[in-house]
Every structure is written in structure tokens, then in C-alpha cells.
Structure 1
Amino acid sequence: MPVVPPMVSAATGALLVPHAPAGQSRLALLLGCYAMLGLGMVAALLVLAMIYGRLVHHEAPTGAVVPTVWIGVGALGQSVTALGALAAVAPSALPAPYARGTEVFALLGGVVVWGFTMLWAALATGLTVRTIRAGLPFAPTWWAFIFPVGACVTATSALAARTGSEMFDWLAVAFYGLLVIAWVVVTGHSLRHAARHLLLDPAGNMS
């Protein structure tokens, strides 16, 4: 999903804000990160609306395509992460009233988007479970499970740090455990598939 890179850039760009020269350079970097976040978030909502419309009016995806539905979870979770990261560095570039506003936005907006993230995760989980029961063949698209779950970890951790909520603390731990399990499973299948391919075709020719 091409809307994800702007969100990732916004979250990672926040780490650079305190290191930028104070004044206009730092302010421009912060505002640029917010602009990329807005670009990615609005575009993601439009894409997710189209995907949902297709799920409602057409047959649900099957087979190796199903893991890609999880990318929507990654886009939403990354936006929550970016909101928290930008609010943390905003005081170094914005006047106090506006910096305080970014903290409110990160909290309220973050919780709202996190809720939508969980809804999309539930939808993706339902499709995945149904496909596993029917037989989910291994494909490189399985790696689409990893980034979204990781985004849930960072998003939930950001909200836990901002709210002090034990609920978010435990959910972040649960998501992290799920991330480790998913990574081990996908890595194992990837290595097994690669080894099998080398045994069947030692020359490494693409079939």
C-alpha cells in the first residue's frame, strides 16, 4: 500500500526534529512530518473504504492474497505511532499552546484511530481464520502479517505511555508476543520454502 511510506516517514522524521537546528528548520521539519501524516492517513482511509466496499459487494479474497488485507492495520497503527512521536517533540518547535494541542490530538485522535485499527484487525483476522481452515498456501505475502502487528505494538505502546493505562500496557505486551510468534512462523516457512526450492533446483533457476 503506497500510503504507508508517508506515515512511516512522519514517525521516523519525528526522531530527527530535536536534532534539527532550532528555529525555522526545526519547525519546517515538524510541519512536514505532520503533512506527510495527513497525506498518508487520508489516503489510507480512502483506500480502506474501497477495500471494504469490495468486500461487501464482491467475493472476499482467498488464498495467498488474504494476508495483504492486514496492511490496512499497519497503516492505521503507524498513524497512531506517528501522532504520539510528533506530540513528544512538538514542544521543541511550537509555542506552548500549540504544543499542548498536539498532545491532546495525539491522545484523543490516537485512541479513536486505534479503535478503528482494532476493527480492521478483527476483519482481517476473520478472513485469515476462514482461509486457514480452507487451506492457506505459503507465499511471500505472509510477510504482510509482520509489519501490521508491529505497528499495533508501537501504537498501543505509545498510548500506554501517554495515558498510563494498564489496559494498553497489557495489550502492548500481548501484541508483542503475537508479533514474535508471527515472525517465527513466517521465518520458518520462508526458510523451509527456500531450502526446498534449492533442493529441487540446485542451479537456482527461476521456475
Structure 2
Amino acid sequence: MTTTSPAQLPAAGPQWYGSVMGTGILALLTSMHWSDAVAGPPFALFLLTVDWLLLIGLSVAFAGRVSRRPSIFLETLRQTPVLVTWGMVSMGVLSTGSATATVLASRWVEHAHAVWVTDTVLWTIGTAIGLATAFGFGAQIIGRDLGAPNLTWGLPIVPPMVSATTGTALVTHTGSLPAQVWMLMATVCCFFLALFLGLIVFATAYHHHWRIAPVPLAARPSSWIPIGMVGQSTAAAQSIASQAKQFLVPEAQTTVQHIADAYGYVMMTLAVPLILWAIVTTARGLMEKMPYTPGWWAMTFPVGTVSLGSLLLSRGSGLTFFHGVSVTAWAVLCGTWTLCAVGTVIALVRTRR
């Protein structure tokens, strides 16, 4: 496995939060798919522990850098390649909260309230960061010349879609009925905000890479980023439809579910050529000795969203085919997570030499 020279690895900061995202969604999916196996719950708990250690460790390390040199924080906002990675901070926080609730709430019933409070706090923090990145980067696209478009521009746009999915799980834990309605409406707004901005950004980036210039060698893993929007929006549509049913008459419940299913069919069909292109692009990169960067973690979270979206679509539509797709994507995620974890360890060891 080839990695970059130690000097090329960034210090602790937003660029590394892809590891938090990938580990969080793997913990969540392991809990959902492997809960009946003897080894399933302990492995999911192990992954959740790793996820929290990554989130806390990276946050403390970055805060330490900023405390020693405050200008570092502003530099992450001025440099576009680093600015876009703040979207991963949002998604890392959101995925950790969701994984915590999924792995622990049903296992530690006596502490379920504390678990949901933790998830709510992380959702609030992650959503606030995500909305800031989406609106902030959207304004920069309009007001500044950011150079040639690329797929990493989607990183600050996707977080509200993750908020839409993870927020629906909190609807029944927000207290009064009016509060639940407002929470559900917030997830719907996040869904359409991310979908609208995502369609524009990813269409522009695909046009550039397919018609003008290929993805640079070191950035080949970014070819997976748009797939995160596809899988996450499928999961969000199903989650919103599921929660909306409690507020609707039976006829409307059926209609909403059919809309969510139809959306999922379209997205999963669209995912096929995008995944094939990402596989070919990444495989060529590996054969051409693609250098290791934290961007490798882009091969994890998007795969996990496909698994999650397919799983929820199978439950909503009743089509077992999508359950098979979900299990397959989860298995692929286990492989890509391992690849990225090993690559990270090797790169960090070489950095210390």
C-alpha cells in the first residue's frame, strides 16, 4: 500500500473527520444488520467506542492547535480545499449521535433517556454546523471565483440531508405534539435544502470531470462523495415518510409512502452508474499508486448511506431485493473501512519515523 510522505499529511483538523463519519455509520449498520448474532452487539459497541475516541481526540487536538495559534481556525475558513471539509465535521457529529442511539438505546434501557439526550445534543450541534457550511459555501460559490468545480464541493452541502435522516429518529423524543411537528418540518426543510444545492453542485462537478478534466490522482476517492447524497436522501425520504404517518389520515399515509418509495427507486437506479464510475476511478487510482490522504475515508460513509437507504427502502416498500443490496453494501463498507483504517495507521506510523 502506497502512502504519501509524512510532510503531506495534514495535522488534526476538519480534513480527518471522514474517519468519524465512516466509523459511525459502520457502527450503526453493524447494529442494525448483526444484532441477532453473538458477535454483533459487541462489535458494534467496539466500533462506537472507536468512533467516540476519534471524535473527541480530533476535536481536542484541533482545539489545542487553535489555542496555540488562533489564526489556524481562520485559515480553515479561507482555504477552499479545507473549508469544504467542515461539512465532514458536521456529518461526523451527526453520525456519532445516530450511532450512539442505535447501538445503546435498546441495549441499555435503563439509560435510554441519557442516550437520546446525547443524540439530541449532537444533532443540534451537527445541524448548526451543517447549515452554516451549506449556506456559507453556497454564498461563496455565488460571490467568489473558487476555481474549477470538483466533487469535494459537495461535502458542505450534504450535511443537512444527514440531519434530515438522523433528525427523524428524534421526533418521538422531542416532547409535546407541536414540538414533534416542528421537528419533522425541520427535517423536511433540511431534505429539500440539501437536495436543491446538491443537484446543482454535483451536476456541475460531474460535467467538469466527465467533459473537461478528469479527477486528479490524489482526489480519486472523492468520486464516492455524490453517492452519499443518493443513499442518504433515500434514507431520509423513508424516515420522513415513516414519521409523517402518525400525523396523517390513512389515505395520505399510503400516498406519502408511495412517494418515498418512488423516490428511492429513482435514486437507487441513478446510483448504479455513479457507483460503477466511482469503482473504476478508484481502482485506476490504486493501480497508479494513488497517494494516501485523509480523503480516502470518502470511500466509507457514502457506501454506508447506500446500505442504510436500501435497508429503509426495503422496509418501506416490502421489496426484499433492497435488503440484499443493503447487506452487500454493508459488507463492502467493512472492506473499505478496513482499507482506510490500515492506510491511516501506516501513514501515521511513517509520519513518526
TM-score when normalising by structure 1:
0.90
Matched, 1:51 2:224: no
Matched, 1:5 2:153: no
Q: Which of 211, 224, 236 is the matching residue for 1:82?
A: 236
Q: Which of 150, 169, 172 is the matching residue for 1:15?
A: 169
- The residue that corresponds to 1:99 in the other structure is 253
Identity of aligned residues (%): 27
2:324 maps to a residue whose letter is: W
Distance, in Å, in 2 between the alignment partners of 1:173 and 1:196 is 35
Would you say the 8 A contact 1:41–1:76 is kept in 2? no
Matched, 1:130 2:130: no
- The residue that corresponds to 2:215 in the other structure is 61
Distance, in Å, in 2 between the alignment partners of 1:95 and 1:3 is 34
Distance, in Å, in 2 between the alignment partners of 1:43 and 1:116 is 18
Alignment CA distance shift 1:48-1:117 (3 Å)? same
Matched, 1:30 2:30: no
- The residue that corresponds to 1:205 in the other structure is none
Distance, in Å, in 2 between the alignment partners of 1:116 and 1:42 is 16
Would you say the 8 A contact 1:65–1:141 is kept in 2? yes
In structure 2, stretches of 5+ residues that fail to align are 1-154
Shift of 1:190: 0.5
Distance, in Å, in 1 between the alignment partners of 2:272 and 2:197 is 19
Distance, in Å, in 2 between the alignment partners of 1:38 and 1:88 is 17
Shift of 1:98: 3.4
Cα deviations across residues 32-89 of structure 1 (Å, max 9, x unaligned)?
1111101101211111110111023212112221111211001111000111111111
Q: Which of 110, 114, 117 is the matching residue for 2:271?
A: 117
Matched, 1:156 2:314: no
Distance, in Å, in 2 between the alignment partners of 1:179 and 1:97 is 38
Q: Which of 227, 231, 252 is the matching residue for 1:73?
A: 227
Alignment CA distance shift 1:85-1:156 (3 Å)? same
1:173 maps to a residue whose letter is: V
Distance, in Å, in 1 between the alignment partners of 2:165 and 2:253 is 17
Aligned length: 199
Q: Which of 121, 144, 150 is the matching residue for 2:298?
A: 144
- The residue that corresponds to 1:168 in the other structure is 322
TM-score when normalising by structure 2:
0.54
Deviates more, 1:59-68 or 1:72-81: 59-68
In structure 1, stretches of 5+ residues that fail to align are 201-207
